[in-house]
Amino acid sequence: MRQITPYLVSGCWLVAGLLAGFCLGEEADEVERHFERRVRPLLAARCWECHGPKRQESGLRLDDRESVMRGGDSGEPAVVPGDLKRSRLYEAVRYEGLKMPPDAPLSADQIADLATWISAGAPWPTGTAAADLQSPEAQAESARMTHWAFQPVARPAFPPVRQANWVRTGVDQFILARLEAEELLPSPEADRRTLLRRLSFDLLGLPPSFESLEAFVRDESPDAYERVVDQLLASPRYGERWGRHWLDVARYADTRGYAFGRERRYPYAYTYRDYVIRAWNEDRPYDQFVREQLAADLIPGSEPAARAALGFLTVGRKFNNRHDDLDDQIDVTSRGLLGLTVSCARCHNHKFDAIPTADYYSLYGVFASSQEPSELPLIGRPEDHPGYGAFKEELDRRQAALQQHLDERLAEYREQARRSAAEYLFRAYAEWISVTMTAEQAASYSFLTLSPDDRQAQFANAWRSYLQQRLRAEDPFWGPLHDFRHVEAGRFAALAPEVQRRWLERPAGMLPGQLHPLVKNALAAITTWQSPLDAAAIYARLLADTYREFSARADQGVRWESVTDARRTILEVVYGSGTPTEIAAGDLAGLLNRAERDRQRDLEKQIEAWQASSPGAPPRAMVLAENPQPHQPQIFIRGNPGRPGKSVPRQFLLVLSGANRQPFQTGSGRRELAEHIVAPGNPLTRRVIANRIWMHHFGTSLIGTPSDLGQRSERPVHADLLDYLASRLLDYDWSIKALHREIVLSSTYRQRASSTDTTPAAGLALTRTEVNETAAERSLAATRTDANQVAVSVTAGDKTSATAMGAVSNEAGRSLDPRVSKDPENRLYWRMNRRRLEFEALRDSLLLVTGQLDERMGGRAVDGFVQPGVARRTVYSLVDRQDLPNLLRVFDFASPDQSQAKRPETTVPQQALFLMNSPFVLQQVQTLAASLAAISEDPATRIAQLYQRVLGRQPTAAELDAGLRYLLATQQLTSQQITRQPASQPSQDSLDPWQQYVQVLLLTNEFAFYD
């Protein structure tokens, strides 16, 4: 149990370690070990990028002792052993004068590590220790010891707080302790109405009804809040909201990407989306959720429907390149579940983290050991699915069309192989004996008919290996051809007659020692010899004649049995099995020409399109299936599959494994990978998910980079809170809903979002000047950070401070809250964050308040989410990663190509245009206006109704007045015609004043934000 801050803990550990070393009389060793474990990795991770072997900014290198002692262009040493004051490195890392590293300061304990090292004389061991440190194992060991995120998740002790009565859940204890340490007060609790709106948007992505708000405000029972939380968590709308958050992580889409003429849609991606929504609704324990997504097919006894979970691995973009597909799986698994950027190690060892390339290929091996089967398994009984009969009938028809195409092509290529058998035999023999024919020679053989372009390489190869196999010296049929091949080339004309004579001596027959009668006849007819091709021509003619004769008679039903034995030998070469003329269905792919391939693809596309579009297609799971033989991975040098290197076992990541890491034992190892990820001892998995949950409640992440907890991620300000949440997850048997309760029941969560309506705590107010300076300094710091990448224009200091002044000045005559200046970004959570609705929540809320939301769940994706009349929740809309609607892009929708932890939040006019002008919104407006018109004729009553429906409250007198004024003025205007309109703008309003007014309410900030 840690009772003090980690900085002190590690400080104590260090001192104790050094003292222990001293007691043993091995002080130097201990200091060197400190250097190797703490300092060298730190320099490597944070300094060498700019001051290392590749670059020497300001002439400074920090990768060997001599350079460090010499310093850079300034001429002063970076480190003076034993003298902190004169060590410029120490000065720079403390951001005194120079501020290094520029992107983010070192942590306090890292600075302390440097100080310890410099004070101890800055030893820099060379030789084996250094080499050893560069090994991945040593790097991993060092990372495990030093980096916050690799420390085991331990339950931190509750820090003491003064205002204990503020604490409702453990969350508050950590938040309050930190606020008290900074002498800040938390904000008061928000009012009931605000709280219910917050809870409802947070948990469901939808606003509460006016009635439920009223009921909650009136509910005086002590557990009113708890009950409403439980109700919301039990709503099926919850899974649709939080499932979508997960789909961002899972880079979900309904299409495969660029499809090369194939069907672009994944017919069954939706079964993964539905699985996710169901899993969140059912509060599936997170460890099980992870296991199923990686290995549902390998978990004995798991329900068949859970196999759709494997969509996590299979709904990514398809690159038409296996390596890239696997990279996508490695990336979504490592960043999505572990918060590690393993993909960075595809070409070389990870630049910042202890992830060697070997680890990448260990995971590569895991995923490469499975395939997506061509026929995906059904979920449930297809017969139970409505419309299945009609679907099946059409599917069978389309599949038959494809089969027919392939059968016909196969028959054609078989016929071609037979028809041209003579030519292929002859050419294969010629090639084998390395004889090239002149054009005249070739023209003399009547059986040579194919142009070079018509010759199939596949047939030629088959003939070549057939001849090599069948030409035997004593073979009664092939024997002569064998022997002529062995005649000395230079004296062929002289020696060939002798071979001819020897063979003609044999009796005609098909037994050993005899000569095939037809060969014998043909051989006897030859009088002069030029080359072995003369012999080959005998065989070619026999094949050609046989084919001609038999194919002509085959139409008349002539059967093999009716031909002579001698002829049958040849017939078997042309038509039999085990010969080059036998074309298997599997050979077809290599034979089809472009047009035929296109036709095949087109027919396949029709099948896929039918599966993707037919309402009767029964659901299937987008699974992976284990290959019979797992893939034995090799490192690809620099990521190049053409340069395979060292073999590596399929196993878990080095940095998360102890010294006795074992290769995976069973099959692909996917199941074992899943188990390692959800092992209680894994320091990352629970931190990552706990942070994701927190982030969606507060809008800000505890971890700077929620999907990258590697060594470049700073220790969170609220590291103990994070660990508390992560450890609670285990207490709750991985129940995410329990974690929600822990968070939303807290006083922290229930705070007000505004800073202006609270009394600032005494003694903390800064003067305005001080504030300006602080803000300006901050701005400059931020600018400098950016300078390494893109120079962001900050024109002048006065402009900056003008804005900063705006941020804290007394614009509306209110007093300044000191917390705004001390923690403007609310990193300490002294108030709630105001939140803007994402696109889904905005669209769904529009549909809800206009009474149109279609609450049906699940099923095939709905195309046209902004078409009027499409009223399903947005999570069910088709996500086409190849042609993502621009509107989704401008509303910050998650990229479906990469696992995305957090959406950007931008404000651009295209968002406003959608609300002002889109047919979808105008339809909502008309529907809502019509439903209100039915309630009352009285404008004031209608306005009140409208406020209740849209904003969940009564209008104020001023708002009512504004509304009435608008309606009145507009009605007067309609009689006067408005002139001078741009060409395509209507010259008359088709929205009546009331509808115009309704639209305005739907566009308000109050509708689009919640406090």
The CA angle 470-475-476, to the nearest 5 degrees, is: 130
Sign of CA dihedral 104, 105, 109, 112: positive
Query: Which of positions 377-396 make contact with another protein (CB under 8 A)?
Result: none
Query: Which of positions 230-269 make contact with another protein (CB under 8 A)?
Result: 258, 260
Question: What is the number of helices (H) and of strands (E) in the chain?
Answer: 44, 6
Instruction: Find the shortest distance in angstroms from Cβ 269 to another protein.
Output: 18
Chain CA centroid to CA 5, Å = 36
User: What is the distance between the alpha carbons of residues 456 and 448, in angstroms, rounded to a whole number?
Assistant: 14
What x/- string results for residues 584 through 613 when contact with another protein is judged by CB under 8 A?
A: ---------xxxxxx---------------
Residue of the chain from 574, 820, 848, 849 that contacts another protein (CB under 8 A) = 820
Instruction: Find the shortest distance in angstroms from Cβ 396 to another protein.
Output: 28
Instruction: Find the shortest distance in angstroms from Cβ 210 to another protein.
Output: 18
Which residue number, 809 or 931, has a Cβ lying nearer to another protein? 809
Which residue number, 474 or 905, has a Cβ lying nearer to another protein? 905
Q: Which amino acid is at 163?
A: Q
Which residue number, 24 or 780, has a Cβ lying nearer to another protein? 780
User: What is the distance between the alpha carbons of residues 43 and 45, in angstroms, rounded to a whole number?
Assistant: 6
Query: Which of positions 769-808 make contact with another protein (CB under 8 A)?
Result: 775, 778-780, 782-783, 786, 788-796, 799-800, 802-808
Query: What phi and psi values does residue 718 have, to the nearest 5 degrees?
Result: -110, 55
Query: Which of positions 169-228 make contact with another protein (CB under 8 A)?
Result: none
Instruction: Find the shortest distance in angstroms from Cβ 897 to another protein.
Output: 4
Instruction: Find the shortest distance in angstroms from Cβ 899 to another protein.
Output: 8
Instruction: Find the shortest distance in angstroms from Cβ 733 to another protein.
Output: 29
Which span (4-12, 282-290, 300-308, 990-998) binds another protein, by CB under 8 A?
A: 990-998
Count how many residues are written for the chain: 1011
User: What is the distance between the alpha carbons of residues 543 and 463, in angstroms, rounded to a whole number?
Assistant: 13
Reported as type and span, the H/E element at residue 635 is strand 634-636
User: What is the distance between the alpha carbons of residues 886 and 873, in angstroms, rounded to a whole number?
Assistant: 19
Instruction: Find the shortest distance in angstroms from Cβ 922 to another protein.
Output: 6
> Reduced to 3 DSSP states, what percent helix, strand and coil does the chain have, rounded to the nearest 5?
55, 5, 40
User: What is the distance between the alpha carbons of residues 479 and 514, in angstroms, rounded to a whole number?
Assistant: 10
Query: Which of positions 719-758 make contact with another protein (CB under 8 A)?
Result: 753-757
Instruction: Find the shortest distance in angstroms from Cβ 492 to another protein.
Output: 32
> What six digits make up the tokens of 126?
């060379």
Residue of the chain from 541, 897, 930, 953 that contacts another protein (CB under 8 A) = 897
Query: Which of positions 958-987 make contact with another protein (CB under 8 A)?
Result: 958-959, 962, 966, 969-970, 973, 978, 981-982, 984-987
Which span (74-82, 431-439, 523-531, 954-962) binds another protein, by CB under 8 A?
A: 954-962
What x/- string results for residues 903 through 942 when contact with another protein is judged by CB under 8 A?
A: xxxxxxxxxxxx-xxxx--x--------------------
Which residue number, 353 or 742, has a Cβ lying nearer to another protein? 353
Query: Which of positions 687-716 make contact with another protein (CB under 8 A)?
Result: 700-701, 704-708, 710, 712
Which residue number, 231 or 1004, has a Cβ lying nearer to another protein? 1004
Residue of the chain from 391, 830, 893, 1010 that contacts another protein (CB under 8 A) = 893
What x/- string results for residues 826 through 865 when contact with another protein is judged by CB under 8 A?
A: --------x-x-----------------------------
Which residue number, 321 or 530, has a Cβ lying nearer to another protein? 321
Which residue number, 541 or 712, has a Cβ lying nearer to another protein? 712
Residue of the chain from 48, 319, 492, 732 that contacts another protein (CB under 8 A) = 319
Which residue number, 482 or 836, has a Cβ lying nearer to another protein? 836
Asked if 320 contacts 260 with a C-beta cutoff of 8 angstroms, the reply is yes
Residue of the chain from 324, 396, 733, 938 that contacts another protein (CB under 8 A) = 324
Binding-site size, another protein (CB under 8 A): 138
Asked if 609 contacts 860 with a C-beta cutoff of 8 angstroms, the reply is no
Query: Which of positions 612-671 make contact with another protein (CB under 8 A)?
Result: none
Chain CA centroid to CA 208, Å = 33
Which residue number, 526 or 866, has a Cβ lying nearer to another protein? 866
Which residue number, 625 or 884, has a Cβ lying nearer to another protein? 884
Query: Which of positions 521-540 make contact with another protein (CB under 8 A)?
Result: none
Asked if 148 contacts 109 with a C-beta cutoff of 8 angstroms, the reply is no
Which residue number, 349 or 735, has a Cβ lying nearer to another protein? 349
Closest to 719 in 3D by CA, of 704, 702, 738, 736: 702
- Render 435-461 in DSSP notation, one character per residue: -PPPHHHHHH-TT----GGG--HHHHH
Which residue number, 665 or 981, has a Cβ lying nearer to another protein? 981
The label of the residue with tokens 């962001």 reads 792
Instruction: Find the shortest distance in angstroms from Cβ 192 to another protein.
Output: 17
Question: Which are the contacts of 257, defined by CB distance < 8 A and separation ≥ 6?
Answer: 264, 317, 318, 319, 881, 882, 897
Q: Which amino acid is at 702?
A: L
Instruction: Find the shortest distance in angstroms from Cβ 906 to another protein.
Output: 5
User: What is the distance between the alpha carbons of residues 839 and 773, in angstroms, rounded to a whole number?
Assistant: 38
Query: Which of positions 18-37 make contact with another protein (CB under 8 A)?
Result: none
User: What is the distance between the alpha carbons of residues 578 and 583, in angstroms, rounded to a whole number?
Assistant: 9
User: What is the distance between the alpha carbons of residues 882 and 275, in angstroms, rounded to a whole number?
Assistant: 23
First to last CA, the chain: 37
Query: Which of positions 350-369 make contact with another protein (CB under 8 A)?
Result: 350-353
- Go through 86-109 and write b for each residue having 16 or more CB atoms within 10 A of its CB, e for each that does not: ebbbbbbbbeeeeebbbeebbbbb
Would you count residue 889 as binding another protein (CB under 8 A)?
A: yes
Q: Please tell me whether residue 265 adopts helix, strand or coil conformation.
A: strand
Query: Which of positions 453-512 make contact with another protein (CB under 8 A)?
Result: 453
Asked if 712 contacts 45 with a C-beta cutoff of 8 angstroms, the reply is yes
Q: Which amino acid is at 707?
A: S
